[in-house]
């Protein structure tokens, strides 16, 4: 009989390392997301400067003690505008993500649990929608309507659901032939009951992962629209709009106008993806 060593068996140690890595990724993403939300939603309580006040004698000023992130081309405090831009971005992106999330779930479940002809019809429609570039659709409709907050939420939410809808439909089809689903139907459970009580409960971890990714996608989409002048409108601030203003003056090298909003967009997307990857890794280690 061979002697045993103090090391953990490889499968156990590998699972432990994966579990620790998943927890670290999830915790890091959650901490970063909380920091961004706290800065955007409550930063104005600590920094009382107005994002609209014009300081005519301090235009295009690099960061100083009075203006920690400098000023723009007409003398507005960029720290105050970065806070206001984060608030405007989250107020649009989070409800838009929720709208797209709910639409994707409803569409996917309707296709999976409805009659075969309904599934075929909805999937052909979904294929047609997925064939169109999402950013092009957003630009087209944003150019048609005045892009207010409610309009932007609708535009982003109504274009965010197709990918999730296909995922939900495929997962629901994979579950609908299982014994407990068939038993529920035998006892008179309707499609709505089965979807709510059984299928959504089973696919909830997958929905949580994709929901976090959806938030990052919406922040990026809104920032892109604002960068093109079709998102949050001046004089209101947004991260995409601030980035566009800085890049318009790139010849003057106003790095303080470009780096902070670009970094906030990057960190927001990173936070959403870290949370999603952490949730996905935890699911893998739990199996």
Question: Where does residue 173 rank: exposed (0-12), middle (13-18), buried (19+ CB within 10 A)?
Answer: middle
Question: Where does residue 45 rank: exposed (0-12), middle (13-18), buried (19+ CB within 10 A)?
Answer: exposed
- 5, part of any domain: no
Q: Which residues form the domain of 197?
A: 12-286
pLDDT over 60 at 184, yes or no: yes
Q: What is the dihedral of CA 65, 237, 54, 245, to 10 degrees?
A: 90
Q: What is the pLDDT of residue 5?
A: 43
Per the structure, the count of domains in the chain is 1
Q: What is the mean pLDDT of the chain?
A: 85
Q: What is the pLDDT of residue 204?
A: 87
CB 201 within 8 A of CB 118: no
Q: For residue 233, give the CATH number of its domain.
A: 1.10.3720.10
* Lowest-pLDDT choice from 16-20, 104-108, 134-138: 16-20
Higher pLDDT, 17 or 225: 225
- 3, part of any domain: no
| Residues forming a β-bridge with 71 | 77
pLDDT classification of 239: cutoffs 50, 70, 90: very high
- 189, part of any domain: yes
Q: What is the pLDDT of residue 58?
A: 86
Q: What is the pLDDT of residue 7?
A: 44
- 2, part of any domain: no
Higher pLDDT, 35 or 234: 35
Handedness of CA 70, 74, 77, 80 (dihedral sign): negative
What value does the mean pLDDT take over residues 258-263?
94
pLDDT over 90 at 260, yes or no: yes
pLDDT tens sequence across 49-108: 899 999 888 889 999 998 999 999 999 999 999 999 999 999 999 999 999 999 999 999
Q: How many residues does the chain have?
A: 287
Q: What is the pLDDT of residue 287?
A: 57
| Residues forming a β-bridge with 77 | 71
What value does the mean pLDDT take over residues 153-164?
91
pLDDT over 60 at 156, yes or no: yes
CB 169 within 8 A of CB 108: yes
Q: How many CA atoms lie within 13 A of 282 on its CB side?
A: 16
Higher pLDDT, 7 or 198: 198
Higher pLDDT, 286 or 199: 199
pLDDT over 80 at 258, yes or no: yes
């Amino acid at each position: 009989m061979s002697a045993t060593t103090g090391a953990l068996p490889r499968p156990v140690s590998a699972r432990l390392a994966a579990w620790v890595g998943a927890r670290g990724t999830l915790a890091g993403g959650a901490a970063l997301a909380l920091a961004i939300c706290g800065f955007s939603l409550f930063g104005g309580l600590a920094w009382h400067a107005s994002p609209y006040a014009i300081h005519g004698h301090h235009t295009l000023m690099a960061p100083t003690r009075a203006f920690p992130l400098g000023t723009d081309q007409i003398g507005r405090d960029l720290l105050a505008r970065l806070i206001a831009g984060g608030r405007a971005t989250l107020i649009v992106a989070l409800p838009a993500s929720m709208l797209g999330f709910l639409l994707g779930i409803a569409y996917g479940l309707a296709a999976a649990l409805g009659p075969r002809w309904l599934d075929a019809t909805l999937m052909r429609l979904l294929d047609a929608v997925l064939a169109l570039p999402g950013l092009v659709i957003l630009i087209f409709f944003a150019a048609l309507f005045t892009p207010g907050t409610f309009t932007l939420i609708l535009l982003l939410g109504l274009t965010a659901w197709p990918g999730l809808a296909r995922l939900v439909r495929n997962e629901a089809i994979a579950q609908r032939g299982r014994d407990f689903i068939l038993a529920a139907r035998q006892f008179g459970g309707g499609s709505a009951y089965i979807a709510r009580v059984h299928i959504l409960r089973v696919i909830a971890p997958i929905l949580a992962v994709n929901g976090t990714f959806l938030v990052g996608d919406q922040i990026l989409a809104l920032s892109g629209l604002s960068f093109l002048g079709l998102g949050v409108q001046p004089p209101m601030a947004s991260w995409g709009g601030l980035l566009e203003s800085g890049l318009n003056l790139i010849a003057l090298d106003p790095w303080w106008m470009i780096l902070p909003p670009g970094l906030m967009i990057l960190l927001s997307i990173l936070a959403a993806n870290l949370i999603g990857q952490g949730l996905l890794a935890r699911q893998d280690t739990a199996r």
